[in-house]
Each structure stands twice: as C-alpha cells, then as structure tokens.
Amino acid sequence: MLEKLEIEISNTGHYTNSYIYYDDTSKEAIVIDPADRAEKIISYIEKHNLRLKYILLTHGHADHVLAVNTIIKRYRIKVIANINEKNMIIGNITNYSNVFGLIQEKINEDDCIFLNDEDEVKIQGATFKMINTPGHTIGSVCYLLKEENILFTGDTLFSNCFGRCDLVTASIEDIANSLVKLYKNYKDVKVYSGHGDTGMDISKTYESVREELRYNTLVDLNDVLN
C-alpha cells in the first residue's frame, strides 16, 4: 500500500510529497522524505498499526527532512541517504532551512546509514533500490520500488520538468546525465515526485523535460538516447 501525504512546510504555503509504503501482510513500512508535520505522519503510522523500519531520503534539502528527527527518535530507526549527501544531511553545508525561516535542521550522523548507487533496502515484501541521480544536489537519488515498478524521484524529476540546479552542490550537467540514465534504464516505471502531480508513466514526462533540457544545456535527449 502506498500513501502520499501532501505536507505543508511550516506555514509557508509550500508543499512537499511525503510517502509511506507498507506491506499489507507484515505491516512493515518505510517513509520517504518526511518533509514536516511529524504528527501527521505519526498519526498515519499509528492508525494503520504500521511497523516503521526506515526513513529514506531522496536528498537533504530542508523541505524533505524536517520531520526526520522526531520520527527516528520515536521509532528508534535509522535514516538512509546517499553517501554524497552526507555533508548536507548532518549540517556541514546549508540545506536552505533559512528559506523557510528555520534554523538548519541537523541530523545526527549516528542516526544515518549512508549508501551507494544500486544498494538495496529491504522490508518484508518490498525492495527499494537506490539509484544515484546527482544534479539537483550532488547526493540526490531516486528509489526504485522493485515489486511495484515505482520510482520515487524526489526533486530530480517532476511531472513536466526536472529539479532546479542553481543551489549549492547542484549541476545542470549532472542532472542531464541523470535524466539520460533514467530514461534509458527505467522505461516502464511510474514516477512519484517530491512535489506536485505523481503516479504518471515516465514516458509522459519525456517531451517537456527534453524541451527544458535542450533550452538550458543544448543537450537533446533524443540524440543521446537514440
């Protein structure tokens, strides 16, 4: 069972998609990008009698991590992210908390498990594969939920565009390569993004992403993929 929770970030009018996935039989669960409003996420977990095993982060920006500390302390679990995102997650470089009028949300290194490209995280009935997709940040990743062919893309890929590349550790060249990697290798997945519409076939995102990328980088996905 997959649930999307649209979370408002600290009364800003800015929303992020947090996801809860759980196995119907065992009730083992994973939360992806607990953006804020820990009480909303916790109340869903309690209402459905879930056994939360891990938090997965697509990247370290504040609007994806603000509920992490509350949730990991309550359930005594670890948070999983990419090794290249470590500095942002433990607070060595800005995660743009200040944009939301907040102090930098630091996550204790001891509470983290940092993984590499293609490492897998398993709960009963579900396997999540980490896919390195740098660009929006250097340690941005997608997670492929293998059993359902669902790709959680964070801020790498949205329904009609890709994530901004003008913040610290971002790179437009990197995101171009990451998008090529996704379109080449994950043709039949459904995309569940960090903001906005979700659940679309990845092929539906292609033309608008291609246009935007060509405008910004002169890279034409058609040339690279064919």
Footprint of Fe ion on this chain (CB under 5 A)?
A: 61, 155
**Whole-number minimum distance, CB 136 to Fe ion, in Å?**
6
In terms of CB distance, is 53 or 61 closer to Fe ion? 61
Residue 203 Cβ, how far from Fe ion at the closest point, in Å? 24
Q: Would you say 23 or 155 has its CB closer to Fe ion? A: 155
Minimum CB distance to Fe ion, residue 142 (Å): 13
* Cβ-based nearer residue to Fe ion, 45 or 209: 209
- Beta-strand relationship, 15-22 and 2-8: antiparallel
Radius of gyration of the chain (CA): 17
Nearer to Fe ion, 37 or 61 (CB): 61
Please report which helix (H) or strand (E) contains residue 39, including its range: helix 38-47
With 0-12 / 13-18 / 19 or more C-beta atoms within 10 angstroms meaning exposed / middle / buried, residue 39 is exposed
State how far the Cα of 107 lies from the Cα of 169, in Å rounded to an integer.
19
Rounded to 10°, the helix 68-75/38-47 angle is 40
Q: For residue 87, count other CB atoms closer than 10 A to its CB.
A: 15
